Amino acid sequence: MPYEPYDAFLLVSFGGPEANEDVIPFLENVTRGRNIPRERLAEVGQHYYLYDGVSPINQQCRDLISAVRADFGGAGLDLPVYWGNRFWPPMLADAVAQMARDGVRRAVAMATSAYSNYSSHRAYLDDIAAAREAAGPDAPEIELIRPFFDHPGFIEPLVEHTRDALDQLPEDQRAGAHLLFSAHSIPTPMADASGAADHDHGPGGAYVTQLSEVARLVGERLGEDHPYDLVYQSRSGPPSQPWLEPDVNDRLAELAEAGATAVVVVPYGFVSDHMEVKYDLDNEARETARKLGLHFVRALSPGTHPRFVAMVRELVAERASGAEPFGLTSLPACHVCPEGCCRQR
């Protein structure tokens, strides 16, 4: 059996508040140890209060878990599914402790992030290690599947959702629409350090290399000659610290000045339409486009697309078998990344 080494599956995500009173405590968890001023937390908290304090991410994880369980069952895969978040209940430490009580000895985990950098991969490994230590000697072994940016199960939903978004534009605007592939910005030193230590990815490291490859793959599979750019969103650092650019709003202004009339924003840095997609793109970027007179449509993220759900099972089998990763690209082996990919600390 291709899944024999494992007796459980663990979904690890970021977590998010689910009521107004959760917002500030959640943001305190996220920023603990960083000396973020209270007024800055209150400012960010306003994003959540627009949605009654409810981040979509926890419900999106519940939906994904339900779909994964159904997919596992349909394939005859009898793996109990657990869920733990890094910053809000259900907490990762509690999930691992429950796994230990349930007698789980070896589990395979998936993080809700497709790419290689400290925040989206290595930090998950570190938090899994801390949760195992807290659970004590009976804690299960937990193996994290690789960053899956180039897996067909990630690419194909992005292609389908981008095509659907293009179809929402006025018919006379579709052919010349500009695509903006949007990902979470991170500090440039963190980006430069992402990837295997024995490979030089150049500026932006493995993170930007992988983002560039996904944009190329999606554009290629659309089969249409749309101009596109990589853009970034959700910057949170001080102005003095360099982060990846251009910001999506800045690029919208440049496109409008250059004569563009329609854009589709593809949130390809995210696996679901959580708060940073809903607020930063659906509110801020959409309002920027409105002021600039641009037709604007935001594509859906993979979410619970059947191909994305099936990818989870395929990645479990891949990790269990020890086979070479199956993707659409031939990037350097940093994307295999069981433990050594995101080397920055």
Which segments are annotated as binding site?
A: 55, 124, 184, 276
> 131, 176, 146, 142: which is closest to 295 by C-alpha?
176
If DSSP codes are grouped into helix, strand and coil, which group holds residue 182? strand
Alpha carbon distance 345, 253 (integer Å): 35
| Binding site residue list for Fe(2+) | 184, 276
- Contact call for residues 134 and 96 (beta carbons, < 8 A): yes
- Given the DSSP bridges, would you call strands 178-184 and 81-85 parallel, antiparallel or unpaired? unpaired
Q: Tokens at residue 56, please?
A: 């979509």
Phi first, then psi: give them for residue 178, nearest 5 degrees: -95, 135
Alpha carbon distance 138, 99 (integer Å): 9
Q: Which residues pair with 180 in a beta bridge?
A: 229, 265
- Given the DSSP bridges, would you call strands 81-85 and 106-111 parallel, antiparallel or unpaired? unpaired
| Binding site residue list for Fe-coproporphyrin III | 55, 124
Q: Tokens at residue 132, please?
A: 């195992």
Alpha carbon distance 90, 186 (integer Å): 26
309 burial level (CB within 10 Å; 0-12, 13-18, 19+): buried
Beta-carbon neighbour count of residue 106 at 10 Å? 14
If DSSP codes are grouped into helix, strand and coil, which group holds residue 217? helix
